[in-house]
Structure 1
Amino acid sequence: MILHELLSYELLRVIWWALLGVLLIGFALTDGFDMGVGALLPFVGRTDVERRVAINTIGPVWEGNQVWFILGGGAIFAAWPPLYAVSFSGFYLAMFVVLAAFIVRPVAFKYRSKRDSANWRSIWDWALFASGAVPALLFGVAVGNVIQGVPFHFTEDLHTIYEGVWYMKFIGLLDPFSLLAGVVSLAMLVMHGGAWLVLKTEGTVQARARAYGAVAALVAVAGYALAGVWLAYGIEGYRIVGDYLTDGPSNPLHFEVAKTATWLTAYSARPWIAVAPALGILGGLLTFLGLRAGREVSTLLFSKLAILGVISSVGLTMFPFIMPSSSDPGSSLTVWGASSSHLTLFIMLVVTLIFMPLILVYTAWVYKVLWGKVTEADVTENSHSVY
């Protein structure tokens, strides 16, 4: 209990805000290249053998990578209950589409090679494409909506009310800025998938992955830069006004929130956070150069650097907000007003400190065992393999 007393409520809130970011970044770094390979599948693989090569680079690891998505959802549920309630309610239809895509993916992996039919396999290959491209796009769209603010408010008893009719919960997400964010997300993960295929394949598949990945890297960097300019001149930000407690009770309505001219005021208050967008742009450009030069390991690392910079820039720019409300700024969710209790966060941290290293060690061991390239000879000599 001494440790519990040393870790203040304020500190635990910041730790879990950071851990949520780590889980989301971990998901993008691992399952991100799975989605990227899926989105690239019809383009890097022109024959059944070439597509099987691409599929076999991710087939053995995608299930483990998707665990990060589950961990992120669990962390939101346990550490940030109001965020879980608002996001899974307001983004319900979008979440349904993402989950449907994730359900289709394992079915496609298991079924595509069950019949030696070109039409049969083509159907499942396009299913793999959709299960990669659609979530990659929608995750970015969701981030774009969060940056602009989500139309919800709380009643006095903290009952969540989401504005608008049911079909607008999906159509309303597709505004121009959010679609741009979706394009950045999709291009970034396609870049990551291309870097992964360059590392894991050779020959024609590798050459095509290098070409498409390089284009995606440029699109991601250009789209990210454009989004930054749009954020500076066309998107209102949010700020807490007046005095407030960082270790007080978790009640969003205890904070007075007002809109401000731009989110970029955060960079004048905390100049060091400019490192994040700089890493996003630098990582994307280095990935482009690495793909063009034919480098493999370093290119994948640069791609990871770009993802780290892009995702962390969103969280650092918005801090302490985690989901602002566009219809009622006073209902906005912040790090200080939307967390679970002090004891809950402490117990979760202890559990995380025990099991997270085990997950990381196991993941590293799996990738070490599976290190090496997938070749056409590998898949043709194992014609009855699962993938």
Structure 2
Amino acid sequence: MILHDLISLELLRVIWWGLMGFLLIAFAATDGFDMGTAALLPFVAKTDLERRVVINTVGPVWEGNQVWFILGGALIFAAWPALYAISFSMFYFAMFLVLAALILRPVAFKYRSKREDPRWRARWDWALFIGGAAPALLFGVAVGNVLLGVPFHLTPDLMAVPDVGALMRFVGLLHPFALLCGLVSLAMLVMHGAGWIVLKTEGAVQARARRFGERAALIAVAGYLLAGLWMWLGVTGYHYAVPPPHDAPSNPLLYPVVRAGSWLHAYAERPWIWIAPVLGVLGALISWAALRAGRELLPMVGSKLSIFGVISSVGLVMFPVILPSSTDPKSSLTVWNASGSHLSLFVMLVAACIFLPLIILYTAWVYRVLWGKVTPEAVADPKTHSY
């Protein structure tokens, strides 16, 4: 028996769907507090020294945190090639804005303190704000548009064809439901960033972060519940009319998907997935209560729990659909029809089993080494080489 035949194609598809979700959650839980911290920078820090303190809470770790974003893109490219091709082409302008913001952030980190001119530093502070707030918002907008469906169809030879022009695709991103999802994402990551600032700073900066974090947590909960109600009342779901074989070839046109009912019918079919939205709401409320109570570590625990629940809830209610088509539902991509080959999924799984634990161990070691408060005295000391 060939080694890769020991694991079925069906199981490999589920494993890689789970790994895709894991990397998205890992990115939001790590680089998410970087983005939230940058989005809060103009509001929690009033003096140049306070801003330097906030910047230096994430300065040593932001590059490592973005590894999860790179790994996620590589995973989609290798394990779900059709998803990579169609999503990046359909969301091209939005992806460009996200990448531009993510590029702007490291430039701001490097150049902000090169000159002592207050106007120079203020401009880079706002660049950091954009580099944090814009991706946090746009990632949520993208998720909202995926839930609504993306306008494309597949030709008989499986070429993806957009059903609207580039301008209309961008305008379509601004659907009110998608913007609400963007607001939830932004509020959730601001809450997460506030928890990080509370953990890493002291004094006035910490107190301001608590106030903004409390508000962000309540906005995240309210927005998430409103989005759930909107999905129940006004967002049509997708599902297979006839259950397909889970080891079928990767051809969406063989077993078409239909558009009917609600995404939330998944909770009736698989009641155990209720744990995801419960954790999403409970985690945000824990973070809110911990911020009000003056706790330092618990707000981060709550926000990470909320991130896990919110992102998991989207993946679980959509399963097995991963990219629905709003104009031609039978072209929709699912876990069962859009993966790479059996051999490629197996080889990548072996590589993931070797390297993913090493990345996790190294990341944990880095955070252990850098554990502790960032103080104004340390930042002001030229020997620390801080930002």
TM-score, length of structure 2 as denominator length: 0.99
Number of aligned residues: 387
Q: Are residue 184 (structure 1) and residue 184 (structure 2) matched?
A: yes
Partner of 2:84: 84
Structure 2: how far apart are the matches of 1:205 and 1:98? 28
Partner of 2:10: 10
Measured against aligned partners, the alpha-carbon deviations of 1:230-276 in whole angstroms (never above 9, x if no partner) come to 11111000110124111010001111211122111111110000000
Q: CA RMSD in A?
A: 1.0
Partner of 2:46: 46
Q: Are residue 244 (structure 1) and residue 266 (structure 2) matched?
A: no
3-state SS, counterpart of residue 98 of structure 1: helix
Partner of 2:264: 264
Partner of 1:363: 363
- Deviation for aligned residue 1:384: 8.0
3-state SS, counterpart of residue 237 of structure 1: strand
Partner of 2:31: 31
TM-score, length of structure 1 as denominator length: 0.99
Partner of 2:103: 103
3-state SS, counterpart of residue 260 of structure 1: strand
Provide structure 2 residue ranges, at least 5 long, that are not aligned to the other structure.
none
Q: Are residue 70 (structure 1) and residue 74 (structure 2) matched?
A: no
Q: Where do 1:218-229 residues align within 5 Å?
A: 218-229=218-229
Structure 2: how far apart are the matches of 1:277 and 1:3? 39
3-state SS, counterpart of residue 167 of structure 1: helix
- Deviation for aligned residue 1:385: 2.9
- Deviation for aligned residue 1:165: 1.5
Structure 2: how far apart are the matches of 1:375 and 1:175? 43
Partner of 2:131: 131
Q: Is the 8 A contact 2:379 2:386 kept in 1?
A: no
Moved more, 307-316 or 377-386: 377-386
3-state SS, counterpart of residue 113 of structure 1: coil
Partner of 1:235: 235
Give the residue type in structure 1 aligned to 2:269. A
Measured against aligned partners, the alpha-carbon deviations of 1:37-69 in whole angstroms (never above 9, x if no partner) come to 000000011110000000000000000000100
- Deviation for aligned residue 1:360: 0.4
Partner of 1:312: 312
Q: Percent identity between the aligned chains?
A: 66
Residues 36 and 5 from structure 1, CA distance in 2 versus in 1: closer, same or farther, beyond 3 angstroms? same
Measured against aligned partners, the alpha-carbon deviations of 1:288-342 in whole angstroms (never above 9, x if no partner) come to 0011111111221111000000000000000000000000000000000000000
Q: Is the 8 A contact 1:110 1:386 kept in 2?
A: no
Provide structure 1 residue ranges, at least 5 long, that are not aligned to the other structure.
none
Partner of 1:202: 202
Measured against aligned partners, the alpha-carbon deviations of 1:151-198 in whole angstroms (never above 9, x if no partner) come to 111000111111212112222101000000000000000000000000
3-state SS, counterpart of residue 253 of structure 2: helix
Partner of 2:296: 296
Give the residue type in structure 2 aligned to 1:117. D
Structure 1: how far apart are the matches of 2:206 and 2:386? 22
3-state SS, counterpart of residue 261 of structure 1: strand
Give the residue type in structure 1 aligned to 2:187. A
Q: Is the 8 A contact 2:237 2:259 kept in 1?
A: yes
Q: Where do 1:333-344 residues align within 5 Å?
A: 333-344=333-344
Q: Is the 8 A contact 2:148 2:326 kept in 1?
A: yes
Partner of 1:174: 174
Give the residue type in structure 2 aligned to 1:254. L
Structure 1: how far apart are the matches of 2:292 and 2:76? 39
Q: Is the 8 A contact 1:12 1:342 kept in 2?
A: yes
- Deviation for aligned residue 1:380: 1.5
Q: Is the 8 A contact 1:92 1:169 kept in 2?
A: no
